[in-house]
Amino acid sequence: MKHSKIDFNKISQALNGTLEAIQGDDDSSAVALESLRSAQEELQQALSFSLSRVN
């Protein structure tokens, strides 16, 4: 199985930018914020797993 190169940094930057934009919006949705925070946690888990597979 081929492993694709995932740019965790770009994904993280996109999540952070989106989170900041939503937090800055007066009409921010609690559901959207929670979803983005969950995505950040999942990204960290994926990065950790990816790094553990390299070693």
Check residue 55 and give its pLDDT.
58
Backbone angles phi, psi at 9, to 5 degrees: -65, -45
Domain boundaries in the chain?
10-16+30-55
Q: In this predicted model, what pLDDT tens digit does every residue of 16-39 receive, in sequence order? A: 999 988 887 777 688 888 999 999
pTM higher than 0.85 for the full model?
no
Q: Is 32 exposed, middle or buried (CB count within 10 Å of its CB: 0-12, 13-18, 19+)?
A: middle
The residues, any chain, with a CB within 8 Å of residue 40's CB and separated by 6 or more, are 12, 15, 16, 19
Q: In this predicted model, what pLDDT tens digit does every residue of 5-15 receive, in sequence order? A: 789 999 999 99
